[in-house]
Copies of this chain bind each other. A is one copy, B any other.
Amino acid sequence: MQATTLLARPVRRLDGEAKVRGIARYTDDLHLPGLLHARLVTSPYAHARIIRIDTSAARAIPGVVAVFTGHDLLPVGPEPAERARHLLARDKALYAGQPVAVVIADSPYAAADAASLVTVEYEVLPAVTDPLRAMRPDAPAIRPKELEGEWAEAGMHATVAGGQELDVRRLPANVTNAVRFQRGAVEQGFAQSDVIIERTYRTPFVHQAYIEPHASVAIPRPDGGVAIHTTTQGMFYCRNVTATTLGLPHELVTIVPMEVGGGFGGKTVLLEPLVAAVALRLGRPVKLTLTRTEEFLLATPAPAAIFELRGGLRRDGTLTALQARVVFDSGAYPGAPVNIALLLLGGTYRWEHLDLVGYEVLTNKPGTGAYRAPGVPQATFAVEQLVDELAQAIGMDPLELRLRNAARAGDPQPNGVPWPPIGLFQVLERVRDHPLWENRQRVPNEGWGIAVGGWPGGIEPCAANVRLNHDGTFTVTLGAIDITGTHTVLAMIAAEVLGQPLERVRIALLPSDAAPYAGMSGGSKITYTVGLAVKAAAEEARRQLLEIAANELEVAPEDLEVVEGAIRVRGVPNRQMTLQQIAALSMAFGGRYAPVYGTGRVAVTQQSPGFNAQIAHVRVDPETGQVELLDLVAIQDVGRALHPALVEGQVHGGAAQGVGWALHEAMRWDESGQPLNPTFLDYDLPKASQLPSLQVELVEVPSPIGPFGAKGVGEPPVTPTAAAIANAIADATGLRFTELPILPEQVCAALTGLKRQ
């Protein structure tokens, strides 16, 4: 490797200019001759039998081409359990906002007008909205249990081995998953404890709140297949689900990935099977773009959760036992991240004894899905407050307790698998040395809190190619979608290996029918895994370049060095071959050498978890209960920051979303399952002005596996924010808030209650 390096430099994002100039093309920007527009008709009831659907008035609107109901589009069969495979409700609506019909017209306006004229006769059924009530044996069953299928989506963001799967058939109807992790004997642990604290923590449904709504354009192909242009984080998964749902062979479904205007886990597969089914039925291209309200009604936000925790501690600072009963409110479809939540709940510290049970429960709410570190912001909010309170109870500094108990490489996770090398201890050490923590003091109404959260890191096999071009540039071809700037980092990796400036490397994202495999862009795994494939492909291309140059220059490959645009004999600057010359010898009529075309294939089997510790500094207004976040410091072990600005951007974004979890965001329904805030006017997404000036510190404990030491960075920063803020509020007020978001009215009420005591 040459002395100069591209890595860790603030190069421009490859996608930046197009986005800044407004010329990046999103799915809704697509226009095609004969394009039809779809509009959904949704259920106004959270639980209702569909008696009759009258589409005649809708069909009479000029420009309307078709109206389809749940029985029209797919062959008769059991209703699928997966959200994306359940195109339209058939006999029963499971949540308010569920699509029950779709209107297709030659303009979006005609489609919208007609959708409002579809009359659906319902028999309203009692809705179950509280997960604890839904778990009762006498609760009405949301859906027949035999509908269980492969509910893999949320689980695809992290890999959890082990854990005891409980037999859900023996559990009440709405419990669709149950798992238990055990170590030692918790009762014995509690018996040996000096302090035991029991608390229940609650977190709400939180929306990913991407700027771009879901949008798909399906174009029938002459061969009976369909090409779907769509905003997705994972085209292969989207292809597989769509093909399976429609009963088509994979080769008849092509996903053409478009720009993703924010995903955060919420853009995998949602509308694609429906839009494809309609397009195939009509033989014409069809577009469906959700409205913002539809996003709130029927997309897949993060599930709500309840953590009933009991933790024990000895005076010497030993964490003895953690017992947990965790309930995830999964909405109308299975797929909640129970396993991963339990893993992080009990895995951050060396608890001597563990007994963690988690349940996934269905309710009459929209289906849920992945949202940045699925399950972990919830679990961290719970356990990091509990640990804080335990420290408080024995008068120990909360950081000291954490340092003393932090898991290290080799310590068992709740599933028994030992942690690989992790930087948890190192990020806590950096908290200790940080001025915001060091210099904290008693100031009336102010408080400082810390918390740490992590993410194990996704792993998935993948491949990539690196091609030399005629003009001496390189093209990386791959199947990994860029949602966070990863294409820039992948280009940097290739450029670094090839010893070329970044301008010489281009990324080509192929559609699903031709791309080298890559998993969905989620789980903080693209740089970690696809980065390795690109690195291997670039190394192979470099080897091929050197081989050709060595042959032509009649020297050994070892005597060559790579310089910008050329391969040169070391120490003989005028003996060289330009990359264009090599291209001409290998990509032209009668050429003597095979084209320079490297392929990298990798299957990483070991994760490199990333941890993020945060220090929150708040001021609580005793009159209004308003929490002002004065400072937020996020310290993250990123292995190696290949592009520090992008990595810091990830930490910024994650922490900002964490502030939303902490102080702002909650999707709410009334008891009958009516959504109360399905708009951005009512759903309180934090504004930029409400965010503190965030400080980011990167810690680099190199991964032995990731490219140049890199670890996944996208998910850890969202995990500890709410807990750190809650701990700071506790420090400021002496009050513990155990339910998210922590709103001024609750703080105010609690402070008032305190005063009254």
Q: Does A334 contact B (CB under 8 A)?
A: no
Q: Does A155 contact B (CB under 8 A)?
A: yes
A459 touches B236 (CB 8 A): no
User: Whole-angstrom distance between the alpha carbons of A131 and B603 in the complex?
Assistant: 65
User: Whole-angstrom distance between the alpha carbons of A735 and B590 in the complex?
Assistant: 42
The 3 A-B pairs with the shortest beta carbon distances in the complex, nearest first, are A23-B222, A594-B601, A159-B590
Q: Does A198 contact B (CB under 8 A)?
A: no
Question: What bracket does the count of chain A residues touching chain B fall in?
Answer: 35 or more
Q: Does A359 contact B (CB under 8 A)?
A: no
B156 touches A587 (CB 8 A): no
Contact of A516 among B152, B251, B597 (CB under 8 A): B597
B591 touches A465 (CB 8 A): no
Q: Does A223 contact B (CB under 8 A)?
A: yes
Given contacts A222-B18, A510-B510, A589-B155, A461 and B601 within 8 Å (CB-CB): no
User: Whole-angstrom distance between the alpha carbons of A31 and B594 in the complex?
Assistant: 38
Q: Does A182 contact B (CB under 8 A)?
A: no
A594 touches B602 (CB 8 A): yes
A458 touches B589 (CB 8 A): yes
User: Whole-angstrom distance between the alpha carbons of A17 and B224 in the complex?
Assistant: 12
Assembly stoichiometry (copies): 2
- Which of the segments A291-299, A466-474, A569-577 contacts the partner chain? A466-474
User: Whole-angstrom distance between the alpha carbons of A592 and B159 in the complex?
Assistant: 12
B597 touches A601 (CB 8 A): yes
Chain A: interface secondary structure?
loop
Q: Does A739 contact B (CB under 8 A)?
A: no
Known: A250-B471, A461-B594, A463-B594; 20 extra A-B contacts, CB below 8 A, are A17-B223, A32-B32, A33-B33, A152-B589, A159-B590, A458-B589, A460-B588, A460-B589, A462-B595, A465-B516, A467-B517, A475-B513, A475-B514, A510-B510, A517-B586, A586-B603, A592-B605, A593-B603, A595-B601, A599-B599
Q: Does A8 contact B (CB under 8 A)?
A: no
Chain A 489-518 residues near chain B, CB threshold 8 A: 506, 508, 510, 513-514, 516-517
Given contacts A32-B33, A589-B155, A516 and B595 within 8 Å (CB-CB): yes
Q: Does A240 contact B (CB under 8 A)?
A: yes
- Nearest-CB distance from A467 to chain B (Å)? 7
Given contacts A33-B31, A591-B460, A467 and B508 within 8 Å (CB-CB): no
User: Whole-angstrom distance between the alpha carbons of A592 and B25 in the complex?
Assistant: 36
Q: Does A60 contact B (CB under 8 A)?
A: no
Q: Does A249 contact B (CB under 8 A)?
A: yes
Q: Which residues of B contact A475 (CB under 8 A)?
A: 251, 513-514
Q: Which residues of B contact A514 (CB under 8 A)?
A: 467, 475, 477, 508, 510, 514
Q: Which residues of B contact A508 (CB under 8 A)?
A: 513-514
- Nearest-CB distance from A476 to chain B (Å)? 10
Q: Which residues of B contact A458 (CB under 8 A)?
A: 589
- Nearest-CB distance from A407 to chain B (Å)? 21
- Nearest-CB distance from A36 to chain B (Å)? 14
Given contacts A461-B586, A589-B458, A592-B603, A517 and B597 within 8 Å (CB-CB): yes
A589 touches B470 (CB 8 A): no
Name which of A152, A223, A461, A588 has the most chain B CB atoms within 10 A of its CB.
A461
Q: Does A702 contact B (CB under 8 A)?
A: no
Name which of A32, A152, A517 has the most chain B CB atoms within 10 A of its CB.
A517
User: Whole-angstrom distance between the alpha carbons of A656 and B459 in the complex?
Assistant: 58
User: Whole-angstrom distance between the alpha carbons of A251 and B514 in the complex?
Assistant: 19
Q: Which residues of B contact A588 (CB under 8 A)?
A: 460-461, 519
Q: Which residues of B contact A599 (CB under 8 A)?
A: 465, 597, 599
